[in-house]
Amino acid sequence: MRTAHQQRIEEFMRKAGQEIPAKPIMPSQEVRRLRANIILEEALETIEGLGFQVVMKPFDGAIEVGPQVREPDIVEVVDGCGDLSVVTIGTLSAFGVKDEPILQAIDASNLQKFGPGSYRRESDGKWMKPPDHKAPDIMGLLILQGYGDKYFGQPEHAAPGFQPK
């Protein structure tokens, strides 16, 4: 099932001439590049609203959040978070994925971080999953939405070991 949020995003996507597949697929490189660029743009704008800049490490080229360079702006943060939600849920739509079951599974998985064996990492305050944590079965949820059937087509888009029907 699609959330009301996803339905509104898909209305926008249709008006913009973007395809919304009926079942999960791997979209073209052009579509994937568009989605990657707009996710990156909105993430960087949100980080800027938080008052930080993104920096590249000199030796390995990895990027990280650098020092605070300005005062945070709550309007920019809220706008950025909303825009990130739109572009990431829109990416699910571009892949033909219904968001509600995926989000429910991920939410349930994240809540397991507070079960027996979990702990809070002191270095950054992030909650860590318990050692016996099982990741959500995203592939199983995609298969339930039609991933891998004759509509999907090319097996090279499937996860390792997955065999289309």
**pLDDT (0 to 100) of residue 82:** 98
* Structural domains for the chain: 4-154 (1.10.3420.10)
**Encoded amino acid at 154, one letter:** Q
Q: What is the mean pLDDT of each run of 10 residues along the chain (165 residues)?
A: 97 96 96 97 97 92 92 98 98 98 94 79 78 89 87 45 44
Short-list 32, 162, 147, 160, CA closest to 96: 147
**pLDDT (0 to 100) of residue 130:** 81
**pLDDT (0 to 100) of residue 150:** 53
